[in-house]
Structure 1
Amino acid sequence: MNRAEKAALQLRAVDVLQMLKETRTYDELAALTGLPAGDLNRYVNGHVLPSSDRAREVVEGVGRDELAEELGARIRVDDEGYVDNSAAVFDQAFLDLVAPVAADAFDFDRPDAVLTAATDGITLAASMASYFGADCVYAKKSKETAVEEFIEARQRLQSGIELTYYLPASALGAGDSVLVVDDLIRSGETQELLLDIVAEAGADVAGVFALIAVGDEGKERAAERTEAPVGALVDVDP
């Protein structure tokens, strides 16, 4: 490991610790990481960097359970079942931790592109695409003026409203492997539209992933459309 790689690893470990510290005491963080609370205090506050060995343990030690607990502490669900996940989707450092954990937990194959719907899923898609070294593409509810050809997916929702998403035709190619992601999956209607776009492009589905699943309906509808893995980091009751 050269100096640049070592420094990047150490700084990544500090990012992880600072993120985890937002919802934990130093004693709780010590119990989670196995590191002394006093040392953690110095790392979190930027007084000293962890050794490369400690940094690797911190970065590799954060798993699905820890991230799910962290996400659960960040979201708010009101009495009508609406989810406020802004504390997660606005935190790029947190989302950067989600990508490798999701890839491992759900055994997603490396995609050529990560596809989402504008707008709240874009930050997660960007993190997943960066981790996989894939393109990040997102469908919109309106057409870009300068784009001549689009892939279009349209569906009449349960509410009776017709929803259409557009993706520039050049964004996906036939035979591409595409991971469909979103910040939240509830009814599965948005995910079905994204899967329609993948099919229209002649591409293959590498998986469907969401930070949060509200109930099982959305995941079940997505699973009916593909044999690829379908999952969410956190499940909440509708």
Structure 2
Amino acid sequence: MVGAVLLAVPLLVALVGPVVAGEPGGRGRPFVGDGPLGTDFVGRDVLTQVLLGGRTVVGVAVAATALAYLVGVPLGLWAATTRRRWLDELLMRPLDLILAIPALLLLIMLSATVPRGAVALVVIVALIGLPEVARISRAAALPLAHGPAMEAMRSYRESWSRRAVGYIGRGVRRVLLADAGVRFIGALYLVATASFLGIGVAPDAADWAVMVDRNRAGLALQPWAVVAPAALVVALAIGVNLTTDHLLAGRKGR
């Protein structure tokens, strides 16, 4: 229940907030108590910025996580089910090279070579998460891919999709569900880090991560400009973990 509430609040703000907020208003004095949550570092209404600021953080994190799984899981299953050692090496060794580079350094390097924008940020964050998704999928699938049930399915000439998706995919879904929560949080903080560094969004954009970074100087004068967006990001991260744990516990009970 707590996890669902923590997850629902930031998602609701991100989805419905832009409709409720409408067009951004004018600017007043910075870091004053005008309005429900005061004003930010350039005099904009903090409540309006909070309502508008979830689209980039949540949208990019969700899209990047989904893209990493759409590409990484088939790669991992393919590497686990193949009987050709060279193909396994060909699929997994380039991903190991990406894993060898720290995520923050890779984020900066890739961002310097592509145009700024949400689509580019989705691809970059997905590429950073892809190797771990593929490796976890492969490791979870290996015991099933070389067990007696798989040998029986091969002897009956079942298709690869039936073996990999129908049998192995069902067997590893709990592992992937548990990993998805952690992976989403990693993507969320990578997106926030990119916003801190001015990658992907404008330095004065209505974005929760940008708000935390740009309003730090006025924390003592107007704490809501930092506390409100930071609390939504933290609630989203904790809510995803608690909801994932609840789903896993429910599946285990059944």
Q: TM-score, length-normalised on structure 2? A: 0.23
Q: Which has the higher strand share?
A: 1
TM-score (norm 1): 0.24
Q: Which has the higher helix share?
A: 2
Greater RCO, 1 or 2 (C-alpha within 8 Å, sep 6+): 2
